[in-house]
Structure formats: structure tokens, C-alpha cells
Amino acid sequence: MPDPTPAAPAADPVLVRRARIARAVSIGQRLGYLLFAVATVAFFVGLATHYTEGLVRLVVGCLFGGSAVLAPAIVFGYAVKAAEREDQGLSSGH
């Protein structure tokens, strides 16, 4: 007796890779913004109290780390959105 459930279509490897990149972008953006939030809170804690060497290192480290993570995440996020628009036929007209 044949199996009544149809076989699942093979996933498009381009779409699978794009989804993987989109997940990485989402994680990168969350982490980058979290690092910026920590830097902001630490900055204002130091402003209200006293800047210690550790607090300054935390602020600077979070700013550098947030920038290093967030910049590529934003660029790749725009690339994923542009690819999705292109697939839908909504090109930018260039």
C-alpha cells in the first residue's frame, strides 16, 4: 500500500542559508544592542558615583564589542532584506 503522505519538498539551499544568516543577524543585533545598553548604564553609574579603572574598561570594552558585533549584523541584515525583496520582485529600481 503506498504512503498517503506526500514527500516533503527539498528545501532550497539558498533559502536555508539565508534563514541561517537571518538568525545570526538577529542574535548579533540583540548582542550588540545589549552591549551598548550595558555601556550606557555603566557610564551613567560612573557619572553618578566615581569612575574606576574597571568601570572605564567595561564602558570602552562594551562600546568596542557592541560596534564589532552590531556593524556586520546591520549590514548582513540589509543584505538579507534586499535579497528577500529581490525574490519578491520588488527591486529598488536601480
Q: Which residues contact 33 (CB under 8 A, 6 or more apart)?
A: 66, 70
Could you list the residue range(s) of the whole structural domain that residue 24 is in? 14-85
Residue 9, in any domain of the structure = no
Residue 24, in any domain of the structure = yes
| Cβ-contact 37, 29 below 8 angstroms | no
Residue 45, in any domain of the structure = yes
Residue by residue, pLDDT tens for the chain (94 residues) are 555 555 555 688 888 999 999 999 999 999 999 999 999 999 999 999 999 999 999 999 999 999 999 999 999 999 999 998 888 887 655 5
**pTM reported for the whole predicted model:** 0.77
Residue 11: helix, strand or coil by DSSP? coil
Residue 92, in any domain of the structure = no
Residue 40, in any domain of the structure = yes
Taking the C-alpha atoms of residue 94 and residue 82, their distance in angstroms, rounded to an integer, is: 13
Residue 6, in any domain of the structure = no
Domain count of the fold of the chain: 1
Residue 3, in any domain of the structure = no
Closest CA to 68 of 22, 32, 41, 43: 32
Q: Which residues contact 46 (CB under 8 A, 6 or more apart)?
A: 52, 55, 56, 59
